[in-house]
Structure 1
Amino acid sequence: MNRSQAKLTQGIDWPIVGLYLALVIIGIMSIFAAEYRGDDNVWYDIIHPNKNYSRQLVWFGVSLVLAAVIWLTDSKFFTATANLMYAGGLLLLLLVLGIGKDVKGSHSWLVIGGFQFQPAELTKLCTNLALAKYISSQETDFTKLRSRLIAAAIALIPAGIIILQDETGLALVYFSFFLVMYREGLPGVLLVIAFSGIVLVLSALLVDRTVLFSIFTVVTALVIYFSRREIKRKRSRLAIILGVYAFCGLFVMFVVPFVFTKVLKDYQVRRIEVMLGKENDPKATYNTRQSMIAIGSGGFWGKGYLKGTQTRYDFVPEQSTDFIFCTIGEDFGFLGSIVFLAIYVALLFRIIFVAERQRSTFTRVYAYGVAGIIFFHLAINVAMTIGLAPVIGIPLPLVSYGGSSLMTFTMLIFILLRLDADRQMVLR
């Protein structure tokens, strides 16, 4: 390698590049497996121009060009234009509400010429940059409530617009930015409250509300009894206990029923009921059931690449996109799935390692944002395919078919690599 080549690649984190390429290649192979039917010559199928795997190869080529452009860009460009990119992302989201195209019940697509893309995907990148810019600002004191509320607004404003586009799945991903805020000093009690809220919702859906309210009453009485000495010393403790009791009771008796009858749409309620096993309609449970059958049929070793019967005979809908994981599960079994998920885990740990070695707050916050986005996508998609989460249309990062998704994750990762290469430059 000559000096110019060494200078060009200086500072690049090769483990992240290798893991990125591994996932993209696995994705293209999986998309091919999801569409291959074995009826024609395999080489003809490989170069077929109208198949999703052929299009994904094209998007991969475009993504590599974007990666090269990012790598050749001065890292200061991303800090300088973070807020401008965020404003542009919000503008695109608002534009979708006016002239967007409906695709499979989601009004979240823009069509420009012959190119179709989801601004909600790109805005994840813009939001991550804007959040990193705000938290790393000299004027921001993240120990103050005002700063935390502004940071939360940066993350939640695009999520709210995306919900208006009937794209609830992608909107949920924006909550990953609260993990970033937690790393930067957001109190852990807020995460406990959020987790408790999820438990309350699930309890309200799975247990009769009268029974649940009775359980709350008994538990509260026991807590008051065993805390009676502390309550005598500090009367406010009783008020806190009774306040929590009242909040839980009102939440499960009135708030949850109101949301599920007046706020959520019928198809969203059905998806949640399918996840909880409360929906018996075969049409409503078909996607999840077929996905679980495909994964289960792979056994421990798998049926072998291109030999999955559920895949070949097109039993699983949206198998190249939302349910791509079941293709891997059927072809490579439990062992192959574990190895596949281990690649994601390695990528996440490497990104966190890169984040913690930064001298720049901007780069650290941005890196944790990348890790949070990938983690949310991975966790929700895999849980969705095995029936532990409702089917909400979350792609598997770098693996599911889709140009918008692949290019967005490529840009997220390579901006991180560019920022990391300049980590000796302290921005704050």
Structure 2
Amino acid sequence: MNARNSSKGIDWLLVGLYMMLCAIGVISIFGATYKEGEPILQSFTSFKTDYSKQLIFWLLAMVIAVIIMVTDSKFFTATANLWYAFGIVLLLLVFPFHTEIKGTRSIIRFASFQLQPADLCKVFVALALAKYLSRVETDFSKTKSQLIATAIALTPAILSILQQETGLALVYFSFFLVMFREGLPAGILIIGFSFAVLVVATLLMEPNTLAMILTGIALAAIYILRRQIKRRKQILITIVGIWMVCVGIQRFLVPYVFESVLQPYQVKRIYDTIGKDYAPSGGTAVLEEAPAKKKDDGGDYNVKQSKIAIGSGGLAGKGLLKGTQTRYDFVPEQRTDFIFCTIGEGFGFIGSFILMAIYFLLLMRIITVAERQRSVFSRAYAYGVASILFFHIAINICMTIGLAPVIGIPLPFISYGGTSLITFTAALFILIRLDADRQMVLR
């Protein structure tokens, strides 16, 4: 494909939004990590500072973007399953060759280079899921097809959990939004949402009180539906079954997950988010603090300092390099997980609003691009990209303001990190390439 054809049909609005976000990311990392007295130009060209390294990552990402843009879009359709298999192999290689960093065992290190397959695999899952959904023989109204699609999406999540990377594992659940767009019954999403509500209620309420409420709801449902005589037996069995499942989740599943699956510091973060103290079932066990994290008596030092930083920014912010919370390392991980508080303190509500507006435009543009596709593959992939970005944006920002537990996922295109930036760049530019060739792609 020649240069002229590769540039034809490109959605330059998506490219422009991408460039803006990457530039904001470099500026934010600079604002959080620049040390007073260093020559600015020299520090940007030394490739030893975090912001100069981020520039290198950006340049590398742009090289990958150009390669994607000169590649025929049919290549991604044809090789989707191969990329997925490659991603699974990378995840499996983590087990014997991982390096434990900050409590996670999901990173492979090659000399000074680090690779996190759980992050990279998101793109491969989006491709493979789109490939499966676009197959002529796939009837997504059947349970078998829905289970296969679920297995494609959640297999990397299971492997990530085994590598103690719960945060990235949760991202893979965003692919259910893609399945919903392609015909997954709304009832399944409702069940999933209800499960989440039940888990939160289990944490917030006393066990006996919640059990009584669930029993009351079941009895009320039986009373309301009592007049449907022909289906009374089926309705009764269904309601009793749902009641038993809910009580089972409350009494056994949630305690088991919190005591045996999640790490103690992860459970502590969840309880800090809902404002409750956590004591293991033993009653006297001492919780481990997240590795390499600062702490205070409340155990939620990161979030407290992040909220102070964002609040101190006020309406217009203190200005670049003038923040106190982020400039003097009061906020841990401020260049990665908590980069949003750097923007909030430096540029205030106005700067934060502008960033949110850019993200909103990006997501809306991706959805617009998705709906104009002529192939199921391109549409499903576009919704996959939108779902991944939405989950990252929503959880990361809610995490920094105390509305979600600290699960350690980056803010797209903004947070420091080569794997993250390259992954998001590749995901977005594959979409741009597919969209540019949409007039040539059949189902």
Give the counterpart letter for 1:223 in structure 2.
A
**Mapped partners of 2:241, 2:147: distance in 1:** 24
Q: Is contact 1:82–1:133 with CA below 8 Å preserved after alignment?
A: yes
Give the counterpart letter for 1:416 in structure 2.
L
**Mapped partners of 1:412, 1:400: distance in 2:** 16
Match of 2:398 in 1: 383
Q: Is 1:354 the equivalent of 2:386?
A: no
Percent of aligned pairs with the same amino acid: 58
Give the counterpart letter for 1:298 in structure 2.
G
C-alpha distance 419-94 of structure 1, shift in aligned 2 (>3 A) = same
The partner residue of 1:406 within 417, 421, 429 is 421
Give the counterpart letter for 1:68 in structure 2.
V
Match of 1:144 in 2: 142
**Mapped partners of 1:401, 1:187: distance in 2:** 38
Shift, 1:112, TM fit: 2.6
Give the counterpart letter for 1:344 in structure 2.
Y
Give the alignment's Cα RMSD to 1 decimal: 1.6
Alignment of 1:356-371 (within 5 A): 356-371=371-386
Match of 1:314 in 2: 329
Q: Is contact 2:65–2:429 with CA below 8 Å preserved after alignment?
A: yes
The partner residue of 1:106 within 104, 107, 118 is 104
C-alpha distance 262-115 of structure 1, shift in aligned 2 (>3 A) = closer
Secondary structure of 1:108 counterpart: strand
Secondary structure of 1:110 counterpart: strand
Q: Is contact 1:231–1:237 with CA below 8 Å preserved after alignment?
A: no
Give the counterpart letter for 2:191 in structure 1.
I
**Mapped partners of 1:205, 1:328: distance in 2:** 32
Secondary structure of 1:311 counterpart: coil
Secondary structure of 1:116 counterpart: strand
Match of 1:278 in 2: 276
- CA offsets 1:109-163 (integer angstroms, 9 cap, x no match): 1123432111112111111111111111122111111111111101111111111
Q: Is 1:415 the equivalent of 2:430?
A: yes
Shift, 1:225, TM fit: 2.7
Give the counterpart letter for 2:407 in structure 1.
I
Q: Is contact 2:45–2:52 with CA below 8 Å preserved after alignment?
A: yes
**Mapped partners of 2:80, 2:137: distance in 1:** 16
Name whichever of 221-230 and 38-47 sits farther off.
38-47
Secondary structure of 1:166 counterpart: coil
Q: Is contact 1:362–1:427 with CA below 8 Å preserved after alignment?
A: no
Name whichever of 212-221 and 66-75 sits farther off.
212-221
**Mapped partners of 2:249, 2:422: distance in 1:** 41
Q: Is contact 2:226–2:232 with CA below 8 Å preserved after alignment?
A: no
Match of 1:328 in 2: 343
Name whichever of 87-96 and 268-277 sits farther off.
268-277
Aligned length: 425
TM-score when normalising by structure 2:
0.92
Q: Is 1:345 the equivalent of 2:343?
A: no
Shift, 1:213, TM fit: 1.1
The partner residue of 1:199 within 197, 200, 206 is 197
Secondary structure of 1:182 counterpart: helix
Match of 2:253 in 1: 255
**Mapped partners of 1:355, 1:312: distance in 2:** 41
Secondary structure of 2:105 counterpart: strand
**Mapped partners of 1:20, 1:49: distance in 2:** 23
Structure 2, unpaired ranges of 5+: 279-295
Shift, 1:232, TM fit: 6.9
**Mapped partners of 2:95, 2:47: distance in 1:** 32
Match of 1:219 in 2: 217
Give the counterpart letter for 1:197 in structure 2.
F
**Mapped partners of 2:153, 2:321: distance in 1:** 41
Q: Is contact 2:77–2:131 with CA below 8 Å preserved after alignment?
A: yes
Secondary structure of 2:402 counterpart: coil
Structure 1, unpaired ranges of 5+: none
Q: Is 1:269 the equivalent of 2:267?
A: yes
Shift, 1:381, TM fit: 0.6
C-alpha distance 76-6 of structure 1, shift in aligned 2 (>3 A) = closer
Shift, 1:335, TM fit: 2.1
Shift, 1:38, TM fit: 2.9
The partner residue of 1:236 within 230, 234, 241 is 234
Q: Is 1:373 the equivalent of 2:388?
A: yes
Q: Is contact 1:27–1:399 with CA below 8 Å preserved after alignment?
A: yes
Q: Runs in 1 of length 4+ with deviation above 6 angstroms?
A: none
Secondary structure of 2:114 counterpart: strand
Secondary structure of 2:107 counterpart: strand
Shift, 1:390, TM fit: 1.2
Q: Is contact 2:43–2:52 with CA below 8 Å preserved after alignment?
A: no
Shift, 1:8, TM fit: 4.1
Secondary structure of 2:213 counterpart: helix
